[in-house]
Amino acid sequence: MSLSKAAIRILSQLAYLVKQIHPSDFVKPSDTLSGSTIGQHIRHTLEFFICFEQGFKEGVINYDKRRHDESMQMEKVVSLEAIHRSIAFITDLQHNKPLKLEVGYDLANDDYITVNTNANRELVYNIEHAVHHMAIIKIGVREIAPYVKLDHDFGIAASTVRYSLAGVSSSKP
């Protein structure tokens, strides 16, 4: 499976969840998730894809400078629009290109270090980041909205799915 197809599959899984969940459950704080909501985790995940798209166009990606758009975590329709925009961008992504990634780890100021990266590497990062948050989202869905149907591999890394399909069982992630 290509990187684009993998990313689109993940985004489509998120869209399927958002379409099913009741608006009140989308914004309901989860005790298991330390008071955060499913909507907040979906917003966070989508904003990384949005930063990737903006950075691709500008040549510099900075995930720290995401908008934290509260409407995306409160309104299902806004999340769905963001998902569809991200799918369209990834569908049209025809080539890998060199990019710069700005990262900042200083807690006291906004000093950034710039590292070389490329579009494929950032798409990989977005896929891995999304799967991680989808695992968290799945925990919240089980608590708040158990009526939501999720794919069997929702929030599970492809390597773990392959490992499971090989017939090997393990209690470790």
Give the residue among 112, 119, 125, 120 at the shortest CA–CA distance from 58.
Answer: 119
pLDDT band at 106 (very low <50, low <70, confident <90, very high): confident
Give the residue among 68, 22, 60, 24 at the shortest CA–CA distance from 42.
Answer: 68
> What are the residue boundaries of the structural domains of the chain, listed by start?
3-165
Q: Does domain 3-165 have CATH number 1.20.120.450?
A: yes
pLDDT of 30: 96
List, for residues 11-34, the tens digit of each pLDDT value: 999 999 999 999 999 999 999 999
Percent of all residues in the chain with a pLDDT value above 70, rounded to a whole number: 95
